[in-house]
Amino acid sequence: MTDPTPKIRYPETKERSAELLRLALQRMSAHDAALNPLTFSVWYEHLAGGNAELSRAFEAARQDDPRLGDRTIQNLYDQHVIAARERDAERVGDGLDRLMSRMAAAAHETGDQAGRFHSTLEGLTEVLRGDDVSRIAVHVERTQSHSARMADSLQSLRRELAQSRDEADQLRAQLRSLRSEAVHCALTGVLNRRGFDERLAAMLARPATSGHEHVLALLDVDHFKRVNDTHGHVLGDRVLEAIGRLLREMVTDPDASVARYGGEEFAILLPGCGLARARAVVESVRSAVSRIKLRQRATDREVLRVTASAGVAPAWPGDAPTAIVQRADAALYAAKQSGRDRTVMAAEAPAQRATAVPAGA
């Protein structure tokens, strides 16, 4: 029976995960590595105690690098977080191979029994057509014996099929979970950069017609660095989490996708949406962001509101992914330059970006 339990899991309750979050941030702040999701993943899995291999390597790494710099954290992540998930995928693949082998063996055995039973029936038929009555009893007994073995083989095959269906369902669920984890941002619940790249390529591969253009929107939280500097990274993460939830709730077209493009920047992919409708969707999202209110959990006092700027660009025939991203980014830059908290269409933006907006601006 295939073991359905992945080795890397996050079974902690909300209360326990909140405790681990606070503890991880405290420990991370005392070391040299950047306070990014990669570093948090390493600390979280170490502190949660669910990845023993990582924890052993973690403690060993601290002997050589007591302040745990970026390179050490990157190595731990590559070797004991990502690699562990890859082993999960390999384990599921091995389970599928074993399942198929068992199915093939059971089917082969039943096929052999069917072939022998067929030969026995032919022998009995031949005897019944002849005149030697003495041979009939022997062939009838042989046929009964082979019939019983055939029935046992069929019963065994039915049991194997039933068990295999259950195992196949478990393996499919594991594959869906692994696939989802690979392309989704754990904090915001939307696609991560890898998922975005895949969906963008798929969108651009589809033909579009006038009035039903494919559209990409980039949405960036205004003054996000100020949020982190003033209120801390925990509240900054709550902002990103709230925006991710808002995007999932508001962008409901089955063909559309939402993603965390990077940092505090999000992307909305709207295949075949058309510019007019796309602008309405993005404006609705941008306006909703400005209504997000973050409160202190202890006092329920409102402590923060944020706004966002957005750039919207249609796909052109033959577009490479980088081309449409650059146009949407130029429109986003124009929105920032013209006062923030607004949406700018690519046609309204300068043809090229002259300067870069500082991170978190």
pLDDT tens for 251-281 read 999 999 999 998 899 999 999 999 999 999 9
Q: How does pLDDT run across 33-78, given as a tens digit for each residue? A: 888 877 888 888 788 776 777 788 888 888 888 888 888 888 887 7
Residues facing 260 on adjacent strands: 266
Confidence of residue 127 (pLDDT cuts 50, 70, 90): low
Q: Which helix (H) or strand (E) holds 244?
A: helix 233-250
Six token digits for residue 137 = 């009893």
Instruction: In whole angstroms, give the CA distance from residue 356 to residue 282.
Output: 23
Q: What is the pLDDT of residue 309?
A: 96
Which of 292, 294, 293, 266 is closest to 281 using CA atoms? 266
Q: Amino acid identity of 286?
A: R
State the pLDDT confidence band at 115, using cuts at 50, 70 and 90: low
CA–CA dist 40, 151 (Å, integer): 58
Give me the mean pLDDT over the 347-357 stretch: 48
Choice between 29 and 98, residue whose per-residue pLDDT is larger:
29
Q: DSSP readout, 338-357?
A: TTSSSEEEGGGS-SS--SPP
Structure-block tokens of residue 133: 């009555």
Residue ranges of alpha helices (H) inside 78-208 are: 83-129, 134-183, 193-205
What six digits make up the tokens of 63?
A: 């002997």
pLDDT value for 329: 95
pLDDT over 60 (residue 352) = no
Q: Binning pLDDT at 50, 70 and 90, where does residue 8 land?
A: very low
309-345 burial: b if 16+ Cβ within 10 Å, else e: bbbbbbbeeebeeeebbebbbbbbbbbbbeebbbbbb
Q: Kindly state the tokens that stand for 317.
A: 């025939």
Res 237 pLDDT > 80: yes
**Polymer length of the chain:** 361
pTM of the predicted structure, to 2 decimals: 0.56
**Are 222 and 306 in contact, with CB atoms under 8 Å apart?**
yes
Region of poorest pLDDT, from 9-23, 113-127, 258-272, 310-324: 113-127
The pLDDT of residue 168 is 60
Band the pLDDT of 295: cuts 50, 70, 90. Answer: confident
- Among 66-70, 135-139, 183-187, top mean pLDDT goes to 66-70
* Cα torsion angle, 354, 355, 360, 361, sign: negative
Q: Return the biggest CA–CA distance within the chain.
A: 106
Flag whether pLDDT at 214 surpasses 90: yes
Domain residue spans in the chain? 1-182, 193-348
As its CATH architecture, domain 193-348 has 2-Layer Sandwich (3.30)
Q: What is the mean pLDDT of residues 94-121?
A: 59
Cβ atoms of residues 208 and 214 within 8 Å: yes
Instruction: pLDDT band for 83, please (50, 70, 90 cuts).
Output: low
Name 152's Cβ contacts closer than 8 Å, sequence gap at least 6: none
Residues assigned a catalytic role = 264
Confidence of residue 109 (pLDDT cuts 50, 70, 90): low
pLDDT tier at 357 (50, 70, 90 boundaries)?
Answer: very low
With 0-12 / 13-18 / 19 or more C-beta atoms within 10 angstroms meaning exposed / middle / buried, residue 97 is exposed
